[in-house]
Chain A
Amino acid sequence: DAKTTQPPSMDCAEGRAANLPCNHSTISGNEYVYWYRQIHSQGPQYIIHGLKNNETNEMASLIITEDRKSSTLILPHATLRDTAVYYCIVRVLDTGNQFYFGTGTSLTVIP
């Protein structure tokens, strides 16, 4: 079952940073935070994941609070192609644990 809470929708101006919050107050010590996004009419796409430390890759940055009860996905320079639904998932990186999606945030990047 999904264990995350996200705002249902957000807007962001093109070229600005998009900061997408996620609350996972019941996260366990061995659960990772994952972010996926789903562009309209496509399958979800992996963005980034982390356990405790902040992470950055070519797509985004992930900031996890010290108590690990919340995180923020940052798209540093949002483009129109970043318009999508963004899902925050917590998952044990262990045998048998699957990807369960929560409700997600619908991000609209505005020209």
Chain B
Amino acid sequence: EAQVTQNPRYLITVTGKKLTVTCSQNMNHEYMSWYRQDPGLGLRQIYYSMNVEVTDKGDVPEGYKVSRKEKRNFPLILESPSPNQTSLYFCASSSTGVTSTDTQYFGPGTRLTVL
């Protein structure tokens, strides 16, 4: 089954304790992205990656890091989480074929609470 998986699905942590949220896709997609969802704001892009070893900032990158060492994986790293990073996080992937409207497929989400 084609899917995007995220782990963990729920995480409660404390300020300053480094954490990683994993994202993996089995569709051989070149493009991957992280979004955060906050009430009343919709989803906002944090970082994206056009392919292996190619990453760039989205709209709200402060406090986050990413890496893309393998095509299927795109982990989101919070080096020193703060309470304002409490949010619902989504990973997404899509192909980058000749048509630029390729659908983005979303993972199930990771609900993060930083105390």
Q: Verify that A and B bind, or say they do not.
A: no
Which A residues lie at the B interface, using CB under 8 A? none
Which B residues lie at the A interface, using CB under 8 A? none
